[in-house]
Amino acid sequence: MYAWLTPVWQPLLQGVRERHLGHGLLLKGMAGLGKRELAAELATALLCQHTSNAPCGMCHACELNAAGSHSDLHVVGREGRSIGIDAIRELSRIMSESARLGHGKVAIIERAELMTEAAANALLKTLEEPAGEATLILVSSRPERLLPTLLSRCQQWLVPLPDTDTALAWLNEQGVTATPAALSVNQGSPLQTLEYLQGGADDKRLALLAELASLAETPTHLARVQTGLLEQPVHLVWVQLLLQDALQTALGVNAPLKLDDCRAQSERLARLGAMALHELNSELLALRRSLQPGQGRPMNAGLQLSQWLRRLQRALTHS
Ligand SMILES: [Zn+2]
């Protein structure tokens, strides 16, 4: 169990041991916090045969869960781009059968926001008529996309973001050198930051932002910067954070920078002045929106980005 999950895990565990958790639970919070692991641990506790000491780790149910083969636990939503009505009907059927080990049943719906409307409506029926000792655990990083009727029937548990010190300490324990900037570009999520650092993306970010800020001095890097930025949508978020830091510097606001390891770059960009930075920032925001998944990638994304980079380059040259 990740250290930052303790504040939500303790009351959940107490609920299991004292048998006062609802039949429908929603674990919500941003991606990369370990909600899936939390749901699995909660399922183990619910199915444990020693309720007052759950999860005991020693009973048959705990052994089966540790081996990932408990027949009273059903998980959907781990794969695929949506969760359809067939998957939910099958879940409802399984949940209505009696428990094989006689200690309740648990279903987990991961990425619950991917349920189609028909699937969500089918699930609503299961939640309205819970069978016996069945518990349904919904997991979602986009709970605002769930049907309000579904939300209102679930006990909601928010998985909080860890504070910077806790996240950095955990990352260092994993053997990576994490900085507050690396955490910032991953919205504070320790698990995403770990993947990002292990994949070498932090070096890529530093190189890309350094080239971007020196486009006036080395204009020949423009094509390379453009290719680097188009590689992943998140690369534009890096630029956005740098622009925000530059704006803060230009305005003389004395607050910590999001990317404190790119101070030289944000100071260089700050010379453009607040007005120009504001404009560049809103243009970039519009560009990011048009590149979002589901919007259909515009054919001219490369063209739009190169126009934006040329504007930035001209501004830098004249500042
Ligand atoms: Zn047990």
Q: What pLDDT does 125 receive?
A: 87
What gap in Å lies between CA 43 and CA 110, rounded to an integer? Answer: 13
Distance, CA 215 to ligand 1 centroid (Å)?
61
Distance, CA 49 to ligand 1 centroid (Å)?
5
pLDDT band at 127; cut points 50, 70, 90: confident
Cα-flanking dihedrals φ and ψ of residue 183, to 5°?
-70, -40
Distance, CA 105 to ligand 1 centroid (Å)?
14
Distance, CA 220 to ligand 1 centroid (Å)?
64
Distance, CA 96 to ligand 1 centroid (Å)?
23
Q: What domains, with CATH codes, occur in the chain?
A: 3-160 (3.40.50.300), 200-317 (1.20.272.10)
What does the pLDDT average to over 128-149?
Answer: 90
pTM score of the predicted model? 0.84
For residue 170, give the H/E element and its range: helix 164-173
DSSP 113: G
Distance, CA 244 to ligand 1 centroid (Å)?
50
pLDDT band at 129; cut points 50, 70, 90: confident
What does the pLDDT average to over 92-107?
Answer: 90
Q: What pLDDT does 136 receive?
A: 96
Q: What pLDDT does 301 receive?
A: 78
Distance, CA 12 to ligand 1 centroid (Å)?
16
DSSP notation for 240-276: HHHHHHHHHHHTT--S--TTGGGHHHHHHHHTT-HHH
pLDDT band at 201; cut points 50, 70, 90: very high
Distance, CA 67 to ligand 1 centroid (Å)?
13
Q: What pLDDT does 126 receive?
A: 86
**How distant is the alpha carbon of residue 79 from its chain centre?**
16
Structure tokens at 88: 């939910």
pLDDT of 128 over the 90 cut: no
Distance, CA 57 to ligand 1 centroid (Å)?
5
What does the pLDDT average to over 169-193?
Answer: 95
Distance, CA 102 to ligand 1 centroid (Å)?
13
Distance, CA 92 to ligand 1 centroid (Å)?
25
Distance, CA 71 to ligand 1 centroid (Å)?
15
pLDDT of 131 over the 70 cut: no
Distance, CA 170 to ligand 1 centroid (Å)?
28
Q: Residues near 50 by Cβ (< 8 Å), separated by ≥ 6?
A: 56, 58, 59
Rounded percentage of the chain residues whose pLDDT exceeds 70: 97
Distance, CA 22 to ligand 1 centroid (Å)?
20
Q: What pLDDT does 295 receive?
A: 57
pLDDT tens digits, residue range 10-33?
A: 999 999 999 999 899 999 999 999
Distance, CA 88 to ligand 1 centroid (Å)?
28
Distance, CA 166 to ligand 1 centroid (Å)?
30
What does the pLDDT average to over 76-97?
Answer: 94
What does the pLDDT average to over 261-283?
Answer: 96
What gap in Å lies between CA 169 and CA 114, rounded to an integer? Answer: 33
For residue 40, give the H/E element and its range: helix 35-47
Distance, CA 16 to ligand 1 centroid (Å)?
12
For residue 24, give the H/E element and its range: strand 24-28
What gap in Å lies between CA 50 and CA 34, rounded to an integer? Answer: 25
Helix 222-231 and helix 201-213, axial crossing angle in degrees, nearest 10: 140
Distance, CA 27 to ligand 1 centroid (Å)?
22
Q: What pLDDT does 293 receive?
A: 61
Q: Residues near 42 by Cβ (< 8 Å), separated by ≥ 6?
A: 12, 16, 25, 27, 137
Burial call 5-27: b when 16+ CB within 10 Å, e when fewer: beebbeebbebbbeeebebbbbb
**How distant is the alpha carbon of residue 81 from its chain centre?**
16
Are 154 and 25 in contact by the 8 Å Cβ rule? The answer is yes
Distance, CA 69 to ligand 1 centroid (Å)?
14
Rounded percentage of the chain residues whose pLDDT exceeds 90: 85
